Structures are given as C-alpha cells and as structure tokens.
Structure 1
C-alpha cells in the first residue's frame, strides 16, 4: 500500500493529488495547481525573454531608422549643393556664350560691311 501512496503524491507539493493532471511529454502526474504554477512561471519567463529580445530588436531598428534618416538628409543636402554649383556654372557659361555670340556677330558684321565697302 505504501507504494500506491507514493504514486498518489504530487512530486511538487508532496501532498496527495488534488485534480491530478498528466504532463504529456514526460508522463509525470502533478496537481493541477502545481502544473499551472510551473507552466505559468515558465510562460512568464519566456514572455519576459521575448519582450527583452523585442526591446533590443526595437532599439536596433530605431538606430537603423535614424541612420537612414541621416543618410537621406545628407544625400538631399549634397544633391542640393551639387545642383546649386552646376546651376551657377551653367549661368556663367550662358553669360559667356552670350558675350561670345555678340562678339562673333559684331566681328562678322564688321567684315561683311568691309567686304560690301570694297564692292562699291
């Protein structure tokens, strides 16, 4: 009878089973309350670990997002600077083109007038 009593005692609380349950993977018998307490603790620890990992991942994601924003902003500034520089250079070239065109036209007209003067 002593062996039967040992089989009816919960290995966690060491009392006679109250609402016994069988843990499927290992086939141990536990009181329902003891089983709930164990699984609740394991679940809480698992959740805490996942939340901790998630917080670290979120921190990394936040850093990466900030890095992306910085890279995008720096890119916009560089693009703006390059565009301003090229616009300025283009304006200088257009001015020079206009000056040279006027000079060429004036020289051409002067030569045409000279040649016309020789013909009369």
Structure 2
C-alpha cells in the first residue's frame, strides 16, 4: 500500500489503494464476500446490457433484477458514483414545509361522553 504522506488528500490515497487492490486479485478475494462479488458482477452485467441497448424488461428477465435496480445502476453511470437508495434518500430528502395559514373551523369543537345511554354531546 502506498504511504498516505505521498498524497494531498485522503480521497486520492483511497483511489491509489483501490487500484493496487484490483490489480492483485488475491487481496480482493480475501476481503470481498461472495455476496459483494455477486453484486459487482450483476452491476457490470447490467451495465453491459444497457450499453448494448437492451430494454429494462429484457435485462431484468435475464439477470433477475427489478427495474428500480437497473435504473439505479444507470443513474450511477451518469453520476460516476454508485449510491444506494438509502444514501440517495439521505441527501435528496425534501425538507418538510409547514403551512402558516390556519384553517378556520366552521363549528366549535364539541366534547362528547360515552354513557350507557349512548354518546352525549356536551355544549
């Protein structure tokens, strides 16, 4: 692994380390689980399907993926960064806006009591 002092930012250092890890497949095999490997393979296969012009439905049938998953992979390609729906939701969540206009009530609120005779409304 390269020394961190050789790079101006942590991001550059991470990119250089990732290149080293990818070049030596042995390290990659040690640290990536079969589930992660499966996800990477599915993303690459989806990307190839999109590049060849296949429809979402055709890709989904071949790889057993939902259209939402294919769409997120397509977004990742256009943004040059893969982010899960959970990560997207954190940054793209809309802030709630509360209305300052109060709606007038037409009728005054009536209090009711349940009794053995039924519901009695108090003035």
TM-score category (smaller protein): under 0.3
Kindly name which structure, 1 or 2, has the bigger radius of gyration based on alpha carbons: 1
Could you state the TM-score of these two structures normalised by the residue count of structure 1?
Answer: 0.21
Could you state the TM-score of these two structures normalised by the residue count of structure 2?
Answer: 0.21
Decide which structure has greater helix share: 1
